Chain A
C-alpha cells in the first residue's frame, strides 16, 4: 500500500500526513503527530479511550480510518485547554478527583465535551446514557458523573 498525502485540521491547526489508507486515525494521531493523549484501549470501539471529536462529534479513533478524517476537523485532548487554563470540564475532573490512573480520562473528557455542547444541562440519566461507551477500569464513574454535572452547573451559572 502506498502512503497518501492527507490534510487534516487537528486542534485548529492544518496538518499534512502521509499515511496508508489502512491506518486508523488513532495511530496517525499518536505515532505521526505525537499526540499521545489519545489512548488505545481495545481496538474495537468498546472502551472509548480513543475518543476524539470529528467535526464536533465523538468517534472511536481506533476504528476510524484516517482517510475518513481527511479534510475534516479533529479535536484531541491536547486541544481542550486554553493555553495554561484548563477547560472548566477538565477543572471539574480535577476538583472531583474523577480519575485514578487517568488512562481513560482523555476519552471521558472529550465524550463529555460533546454532550455538554449539545445539552448544556444534562440530567444524571442523560450523562450515564451518553457516557456508556466509555470504560473506566478504576471505577471512577460516580465521580465522572459528578464532574460533568459540576462543569455544566459552572457553565450555566455564568
Chain B
C-alpha cells in the first residue's frame, strides 16, 4: 500500500460553519489521552476563537484526511503543528478577505473572538460571513504565521476536557454502545489454543435455535442472533474439535527466546529492527574496569486490558461497508477490510468513536473483521463485543523480554563500558543515555509464543528497567549513592534536569534510614520525553529470600517534553502512566501453557486499584523554547526500576524480573 499524501490545503483540515463555529477534521483517535482537547485548544488559539466554538471530527475515514494512526506519542508532535498551521493559514486568509472587502490594509485590522474588526470604522465581519459557506481552498505554507509562544492565551493552559460532560453523564457512545436498526449480536468460536486448526465442527444444534444464523468460512465459525444471550447460547451449542500444536509455556520462555531467532522473512517486531551498535571496545574496557557487574533481567508478557474490550458494529448497504469500532488505526482497519473483502477503498468507511482506552493494544481490527463477516452473511448489521476473557486471550500482548547486561566503572565511579542485549521485546531505549566510551547494544529479534504488539512505551519499559536496575547494581559496587552515580555519568542536560528536579522534590538524601524502608530512582529518555522517577517503599525480607509486605508509599516523577500544551492533562497522563506502570512493575504477568492463557480474567490477573496507589507528585518542566513532544508513553517507564531499586535499598534483595512480586501475585 502506498501512503496517501497528507493534504496541505486548509479545507481538508477545517471548515467555517454558517453559525460561526469551526469544524476540524483529524484522523487521530481519542483514547483517553486528551488529544481531543489539545487539538481543540491549539486550533482555537490560532483562530482566536473560544474553545466552545471549535468542534473536532475525529477518526472517520470518510471525512478526515488519511492518518497512520494514534501511536508512538506522535499526535502532539505531528498533529498539533499540522492543525496549528492549517488554522493560522485560515486566519490569515480570512484577514485577507476582510481587507479586500474594506479595501483596507490587513495590518490595520484586528482579529478577535471569531471576527475581524476595522478599528477605525468599528465595522466587523464574522468568520462565517467572510467564508460564506465556501471551503477555504488555501494552500498551507510550510512557514505558516503561527502565534509565538509569548502570545499564547490557550496553549499552555489547562483547558478543561472538552468531552467530559458526555462522559460523566453516560451520553457518549463508545463503539460498544453503537446500535443500528435491525442489528444482530454476533459471537465467534474461539480455538482451543493458539495456532489451533479446526478439525471438525457440528453446528446443527446451534442452527436449530430460532433466529440464529451460523456462519462458517474455513476456520472461522460465528453465530448471530437477535440478542446477546441467544448468541451466547448458540455459540455454546456449537461442537468443535481443534488440533492444538505443541508450543512453549511461560516457564520455558527464556530458553525459548535464546534458541528461537525470528524468521528472517517474518513480521518485524514493534518498533522495527535495528542493527547492533558497537562503540569503542566494550569487551576490552570491561576486562580492564575496576568494577564490573553482569546480570540478566526479564519482563513478562502482560495484557493491555483496556476497560472497553474490542467491539465493532458492521453494516453493509448496497455492497458498501460501514464499521464502527474502537481502534488506534482507523485507516489501517479500513485497509484490512478493503483487502479481506476485495472492495474499492471508497466503499469502506471506518468510524471510531472516542474509545475506551487502548495503551497501544488496539492497533488491529479483529472485531471489525468479525462483525463485517457476520453482517455480510446475515444481511443485517451485526455487533461483536469481545468478553474480557476474549480480550485477554485473543488480542495481543506486550512483548516479554530477556535482557543481559554488563557494566564497568572505574574506581572513581566513571562509567567505562556498557553492554545491553535484549531478546524479543524491541530496541526502544536500548542505547544508554549515560556518557560511556565503550558500548555494545544488541537487539535479538526472536519468535514469540504469544501474539504480541505495541504497548505503551514499547520495549523502552523493558530496556529502561534493565538499564536502570543495572546502573543501581554498579553504583552499589562502586560505593556511590545511586543518584550521585547517575549524575556523575550523565551528559544530557535535559535528562539531568529532570533527574535533579525529581530528586529535589523527593528530598533525596534527606530521609532517615530505617530498617525495611528504601528509596530508589530511575531516569530515561524516549520519544522526545525526559523522565525521572523516585520511589519510596516499605518491605521486609522473608527467611526464604522472598519479599513480604511491599508497599510503595510515595512516588515523585519529573517529566519534560518541550512546550507543555495543557498542564493539567499532562499531569493526568503522567499520574495515570505511573499507576498503570505499578501493575506491570509488581503483579501483572500473563501465565500461559499449551496454547492457552491461564489467567484471562480480572479475578486472576491483578491490575492496580484504589488501595494500591501511593501519593504521587508530578513535577513538570515546561520548555516553551522547544517543540512539544508526546507524553502518552515515556512516563510509564520509570516506575518499575525506581521501585526495584528502592526494594533493594530496603531489603538487600535484588529483583531482576518484572513483575517484581512474581507470577504468584494474585488478585486480593
Residues of A within 8 A of B (CB): 20, 22-23, 27, 30-31, 34-44, 46-47, 49, 76-78, 80-81, 86, 90, 93-95, 97, 99-106, 109, 127-129, 131-132, 134-145
Contacts and interface: CB of A to CB of B under 8 A. Distances in A.
24 contacts: A23-B227, A27-B229, A31-B227, A36-B173, A36-B176, A36-B177, A37-B169, A39-B356, A41-B309, A43-B387, A44-B602, A47-B602, A86-B169, A94-B165, A101-B356, A102-B166, A102-B354, A103-B174, A103-B306, A105-B170, A131-B610, A137-B306, A142-B579, A144-B610
A140 B607 CA distance: 13
Nearest to B183: A31
A136 B305 CA distance: 10
B575 A143 contact: yes
Given A42-B601, A100-B572, 10 more contacts: A36-B170, A41-B388, A42-B602, A86-B169, A97-B160, A97-B572, A101-B307, A101-B355, A102-B172, A144-B610
Given A138-B576, A141-B579, A40 B176 contact: yes
B164 A44 contact: no
A20 B33 CA distance: 40
Contacts of A104: 307
Contact of A136 (B165, B176, B307): B307
Contact of A135 (B171, B355, B607): B607
Interface of B: 31-34, 160-161, 163-174, 176-177, 179, 185, 227-229, 305-309, 354-357, 359, 385, 387-388, 568-569, 572-573, 575-580, 601-603, 607-611, 613, 615-616, 667
Nearest to B392: A42
Nearest to B185: A31
Contact of B161 (A20, A35, A47, A97): A97
Given A37-B169, A97-B160, A139-B577, A103 B601 contact: no
A138 B580 contact: yes
B307 A41 contact: yes
A90 B168 contact: yes
Given A42-B601, A94-B160, A131-B610, A34 B179 contact: yes
A94 B309 contact: no
B602 A94 contact: no
B610 A105 contact: no
Given A103-B356, A140-B572, A145 B610 contact: yes
B172 A44 contact: no
Counting chain A CB atoms within 10 Å of each CB, the highest count among B34, B167, B309, B356 belongs to B167
Contact of B168 (A30, A94, A103, A140): A94
A138 B173 contact: no
Nearest to A36: B177
A94 B164 contact: yes
Contacts of A38: 170
Contacts of B610: 127-128, 131-132, 134, 141, 144-145
Q: Which of B167, B170, B607 has the most CB of A within 10 A?
A: B170
Nearest to A129: B611
Contact of A99 (B164, B171, B177, B229): B164
Contacts of A47: 307, 388, 602
A82 to B, nearest CB: 11
B235 to A, nearest CB: 14
A27 B228 contact: yes
Given A37-B171, A46-B603, A143 B307 contact: no
A78 B169 contact: yes
A86 B307 contact: no
Nearest to B388: A42
A109 B167 CA distance: 11
A76 B472 CA distance: 51
The 5 closest A-B pairs by CB, nearest first: A37-B170, A139-B579, A101-B32, A102-B167, A103-B356
B31 A101 contact: yes
Contact of B305 (A34, A43, A101, A137): A137
Contacts of B309: 40-41
Given A106-B170, A137-B357, A138-B32, A100 B576 contact: yes
Nearest to A62: B388
A43 B307 CA distance: 12
B168 A93 contact: yes
A99 B356 CA distance: 11
Instruction: Give the residue among B359, B569, B579 with the most A Cβ atoms within 10 A.
Output: B579
B305 A97 contact: no
Contact of A77 (B169, B388, B578, B613): B169
B609 A102 contact: no
Nearest to A93: B168
B26 to A, nearest CB: 18
B56 to A, nearest CB: 16
B211 to A, nearest CB: 12
Contacts of B602: 41-42, 44, 46-47, 135
Nearest to A140: B576
Given A31-B227, A103-B356, A137 B160 contact: no
Contact of B611 (A105, A128, A138): A128
A132 B163 CA distance: 26
B191 to A, nearest CB: 20
Contact of B568 (A97, A137, A140): A97
B170 A44 contact: no
Contacts of A141: 579, 608-610, 613
B164 A93 contact: yes
Most interface-central of A109, A134, A137 (chain B CB within 10 A): A137
A93 B169 CA distance: 11
Given A44-B388, A47-B602, A94-B164, A100 B613 contact: no
Contacts of B177: 30, 36
A36 B607 CA distance: 25
Contacts of A35: 170
B255 to A, nearest CB: 32
Nearest to B171: A37
B173 to A, nearest CB: 6
A29 to B, nearest CB: 11
A104 B305 CA distance: 13
Contacts of A86: 165, 168-169
